[in-house]
Amino acid sequence: MFIARFLVCFAALIVLPVGAEQSGPGLGVKASETMIENWSLDIFADGEGLPAGQGNAVAGKQVYQQYCLLCHGVKGGGGSAEELAGAEHNLIDNPPDKTIGTYWPYPTTIFDFVSRSMPLSAPGSLSNNEIYAVTAYLLYLNDIISETAVINAVSLPQVQMPNRLGFISTFH
């Protein structure tokens, strides 16, 4: 009797997963390699993952006025959302002014962040040229590049951020 019960339980264990697969909720489709590639937006500090396209701060100002000004304020000075430029204090002041210019160690993070999350109301809606241009504008507002410097997959990773060496690595 005990063995019979044991066998029934054991059989149930084997059968259930197969049954579960057949009678599942049927939601969605299996992600294909192409879908995963299109969703994979990661851009690394060395520029790996940056797409084709380019822009400068002159073009970026237009993008900024149209899509970013409302929340981030005139010249990135802050509004309902974070200040992005124009720091009046440095990082050791209290409170510190954490802008792209005073804080961010890598310029590629601007492209990465904006392409995946901004504008807050419509992430993913900007073209790569618009993102390069607004990235250039934010670097220009922080006095890091000139207004006409062309920012693209090659030049962006080469931009030296003022706080590049301000972080202490705990991985030795």
Contact set with ligand HEC (CB under 6 A): 67-68, 70-72, 81-82, 84, 110, 113-114, 118-121, 134
Tally Cβ neighbours within 10 Å of residue 82: 13
Dist CA 101 CA 141 (whole Å): 9
Q: Are 101 and 85 in contact (CB under 8 A)?
A: yes
Tally Cβ neighbours within 10 Å of residue 144: 19
Min dist CB 36 to ligand HEC, Å, is 24
**CA neighbor of 123 nearest in space, from 132, 114, 110:** 114
**CA neighbor of 63 nearest in space, from 158, 10, 4, 141:** 141
Residue closer to ligand HEC, measured from CB, 6 or 44: 44
How many Å is the maximal CA-CA distance in the chain?
85
Residue closer to ligand HEC, measured from CB, 47 or 76: 76
Tally Cβ neighbours within 10 Å of residue 39: 9
Residue closer to ligand HEC, measured from CB, 11 or 116: 116
Min dist CB 75 to ligand HEC, Å, is 13
Min dist CB 109 to ligand HEC, Å, is 8
Min dist CB 121 to ligand HEC, Å, is 5
Residue closer to ligand HEC, measured from CB, 47 or 137: 137
Residue closer to ligand HEC, measured from CB, 23 or 121: 121
Dist CA 33 CA 133 (whole Å): 30
Min dist CB 52 to ligand HEC, Å, is 19
